[in-house]
Homo-oligomer: A and B are copies of this chain.
Amino acid sequence: MTYFTNINKIKFEGPKSKNALSFKYYDPQRIVNGQKMEDLLRFSVAYWHTFTADGSDPFGASTMVRPWNHLQGMDLAKARVEAAFELFEKLDVPFFCFHDVDVAPEGSTLRETYQNIDTIVSMIKDYMKTSKTKLLWNTANMFTNPRYVHGAATSNNADVFAYSAAKVKKGLDVAKELGAENYVFWGGREGYETLLNTDMKLEQDNLALFFHMAVDYAKEIGFNGQFLIEPKPKEPTKHQYDFDVATGLAFLQKYHLEKYFKFNIEANHATLAGHTFEHELRVARINGMLGSVDANQGDKLIGWDTDEFPTDLYSTTLAMYEILKNGGLGKGGLNFDAKVRRASFDVEDLFHAHIAGMDSFAIGLMVADKLIEDRVFDNFIDDRYKSYTSGIGKDIIEGKANFHSLEAYALTLGEIQNKSGREERLKGLLNQYLLETISELATV
């Protein structure tokens, strides 16, 4: 069956195209710095937002007009798989991601849930045989069902911990079965509502125990995907334990888990934590922990996770800058953890939204590549820090200085001269590169 009947395969038509249903900038086969754009970007569709979500919000009911709206249960689940692979092909995306409950409904027992998952996973596996689209990552939803009201691995209820373990065990089996490149842990309700009723230490100790069990089980079954933690500061809980990358890092180091995990960084989660997207990417990068990206955007004037499709070209450029500097994302990718607005309820909007996101990241890639190639910021930075390449600066870096030697040196100094940080000039350059890179490409 065809679900998106009026939508043809989305093709690259170049920046002057008036066809809404075409890529203007994303050209999968275009070579950027020796690699194909599609290999550099590794886009992924988020199953939950695109196939499962219905447009409801805390103040409103479902709005999404979908060809599978009349179905229920496993019939619905199967239709979504069919629709998904149709969309993957029409958008030509190389990856997708899902939570267990996105693809298969929970049964009345855990065993029945397993069966539902098995049925759908088998169906997905069949589709994957003939599809180019692979599984970037899967995960277990451990926050929707009321059993997780107090958390999953951090629940005060040991039964919930056990149940969650069973869910992740199954998730890892599925990941192995489908060849997932990563497995993601987003905290869900791993956090607290009020300290008045919370034993934070026990909860975090338990979370670490849980992660160690997951690491052990992955080894046992030979799952080679990368484990990823996805930080978020709040929502649904008032305080999520994986607040941001730095917090996650402190946790992993404390519990000796840092070599098994990297981070899946989401733009909107970064801004909710008071950071820019690029800050979180940078922190992960310089700690060797940049694993994957949830490519979306938030609204900094809004205090909840809006999960918008990424269209801000500053954000996509600076994100791709960090990613290229990281040597790419390895097993990771750019997963559109983004939803069409509640008022964008047509099937067509799903395509407009993904096109907007893919074009925006393609632009970001091209601009970032050019900025790096021309060493625009690198040269400035090299010059800015060059005092550490000789003399007292070199001594410092090389561990040859101490407070005595530095004081002796400082006492010889007259007034210290600094150089301007040139922030306004650099921002002007960023604009010039944004516009000129694309302008030049347009004329090629």
Give the distance in Å from the alpha carbon of A244 to the alpha carbon of B248 in the complex. 13
Give the distance in Å from the alpha carbon of A387 to the alpha carbon of B397 in the complex. 52
Give the distance in Å from the alpha carbon of A432 to the alpha carbon of B362 in the complex. 13
Give the number of times this chain occurs in the complex, counting copies. 4
Q: Which of B156, B161, B194, B352 contacts A396 (CB 8 A)?
A: B161
Assess the A287–B254 pair: CB atoms within 8 A.
Answer: yes
Query: A373 interface residue, CB < 8 Å from B?
Result: no
Interface size class, chain A: 35 or more
Query: A341 interface residue, CB < 8 Å from B?
Result: yes
Q: Which of B166, B349, B381 contacts A420 (CB 8 A)?
A: B349
A204–chain B nearest beta-carbon distance, Å:
7
Assess the B301–A271 pair: CB atoms within 8 A.
Answer: yes
Q: Mark A375-419, 1 if CB is under 8 A from B, else 0.
A: 001001100110110011100110101111011011101011011
Q: Mark A145-162, 1 if CB is under 8 A from B, else 0.
A: 111111000011111111
Assess the A158–B59 pair: CB atoms within 8 A.
Answer: no
Closest to A386 in B: B156
Closest to A380 in B: B197
Q: Which of B20, B149, B340, B411 contacts A166 (CB 8 A)?
A: B411
What residues on B are CB-neighbors of A250 within 8 Å? 246-247, 249-250, 253
Query: A70 interface residue, CB < 8 Å from B?
Result: no
Give the distance in Å from the alpha carbon of A149 to the alpha carbon of B239 in the complex. 31
What residues on B are CB-neighbors of A409 within 8 Å? 162
Give the distance in Å from the alpha carbon of A62 to the alpha carbon of B146 in the complex. 7
Query: A421 interface residue, CB < 8 Å from B?
Result: yes
Query: A84 interface residue, CB < 8 Å from B?
Result: no
What residues on B are CB-neighbors of A206 within 8 Å? 388, 396-397
